[in-house]
């Protein structure tokens, strides 16, 4: 059965709406553009065209996959972040707009420090969105990015190649494990991280496209959501240079508790929270005390 593109899009939108997909209209159009390999202008040019049977079948196959709850980004294999197109797959968390607050704050810190060269550690890099974006936005840094997942590191490495990101090195390892040495502990000017911070008990209540498709290892922060902050904050001080900064993404209600973890550590002086565009606390910045 041949379909006019506008009718196919409407049918797809209806199918997604029935299955509770919030952005049904947008998703139906983006999936079509992905399938046909056209931009927005090319999409409008095809609006009144007739879709052949093979293309119709492939399009509605993809719509069915989206209707099942699979995230759009895992279908198209792409997510924009900080103005760059990142390849994503089920091995990595889909970069969120909220995390751009962490990158923007790190860029601000790097510029404020004004050093000729700075070393940055991206802890738990996932797709590499944070570290790669920093190398693209700051000329005076080198980034080391790590993740416990080898598959995630492979995805991040692919993104670095595709985006021609230089001055970034990827390592597979658990948090600071790759930087502990018997005779020397590697140190950085800045450490950035978007660790898992969702409470374990909340995971089952998340939308299907998150809980059933994105890597739980990148979401689950333990019973109270603070497991990784308790691990990262105390050890980060050992891996920061004098005056170094630790910048962490946090949940909107976690600033006070994470600040408390930093206070107990006793290695950080200035502690401040940064709001995202919604006015929620999204990043906490900890500056290492003078030694």
Answer yes or no: are the C-beta atoms of 140 and 114 closer than 8 Å.
Answer: no
Helix, strand, or coil (residue 91) = coil
Distances (CA, A) of 152 to 29, 73, 137, 199, 233: 29, 16, 22, 22, 23
Q: How far apart are CA 147 and CA 243, in angstroms?
A: 25
pTM comes to 0.92
Q: Give pLDDT tens digits along the chain (291 positions).
A: 578 999 999 999 999 999 999 999 999 999 999 999 999 999 999 999 999 999 999 999 999 999 999 999 999 999 999 999 999 999 999 999 999 999 999 999 999 988 899 999 999 999 999 999 999 999 999 999 999 999 999 999 999 999 999 899 999 999 999 988 755 678 999 999 999 999 999 999 999 999 999 999 999 999 999 999 999 999 999 999 989 999 999 999 999 999 999 999 888 988 999 999 999 999 999 999 865
Cβ atoms within 10 Å, residue 182: 5
Strand ranges inside 7-152, DSSP E: 50-51, 78-81, 84-87, 118-123, 141-147
Model pLDDT, residue 2 = 73
Q: How far apart are CA 227 and CA 199, in angstroms?
A: 9
Model pLDDT, residue 224 = 97
Q: Which of 102, 101, 129, 23 is nearest to 278 (CA)?
A: 101
Q: What is the 3-class SS of 18-33, one letter each residue?
A: HCCCCCHHHHHHHHHH
Model pLDDT, residue 291 = 56
Model pLDDT, residue 290 = 65
Q: How far apart are CA 100 and CA 106, in angstroms?
A: 10
């Amino acid at each position: 059965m041949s379909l006019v593109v506008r009718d196919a899009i409407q049918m797809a939108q209806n199918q997604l709406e029935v299955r509770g997909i919030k952005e049904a209209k947008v998703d139906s159009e983006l999936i079509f553009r992905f399938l046909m390999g056209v931009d927005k202008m090319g999409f409008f040019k095809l609006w009144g065209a007739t879709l052949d049977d093979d293309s119709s079948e492939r399009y509605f196959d993809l719509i069915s996959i989206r209707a099942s709850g699979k995230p759009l980004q895992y279908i198209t294999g792409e997510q924009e972040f900080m103005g760059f197109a990142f390849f994503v797959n089920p091995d990595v968390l889909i970069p969120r707009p909220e995390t751009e607050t962490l990158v923007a704050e790190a860029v601000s810190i790097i510029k404020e420090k004004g050093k000729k060269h700075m070393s940055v550690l991206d802890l738990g890099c996932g797709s590499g969105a944070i570290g790669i974006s920093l190398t693209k936005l700051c000329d005076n840094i080198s980034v080391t990015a790590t993740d416990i997942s080898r598959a995630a590191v492979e995805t991040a490495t692919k993104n670095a190649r595709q985006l021609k990101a230089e001055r970034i090195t990827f390592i597979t390892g658990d948090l600071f494990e790759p930087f502990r040495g018997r005779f020397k502990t590697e140190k950085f000017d800045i450490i950035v991280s978007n660790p898992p911070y969702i409470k374990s008990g909340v995971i089952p209540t998340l939308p299907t496209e998150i809980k059933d498709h994105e890597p739980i290892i990148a979401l689950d922060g333990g019973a109270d959501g603070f497991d990784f902050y308790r691990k990262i904050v105390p050890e980060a001080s050992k891996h920061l240079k004098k005056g170094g900064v630790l910048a962490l993404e946090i949940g909107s209600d976690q600033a006070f508790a994470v600040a408390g973890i930093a206070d107990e550590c006793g290695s950080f002086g200035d502690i401040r929270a940064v709001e995202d565009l919604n006015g929620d606390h999204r990043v906490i910045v900890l500056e290492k005390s003078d030694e």
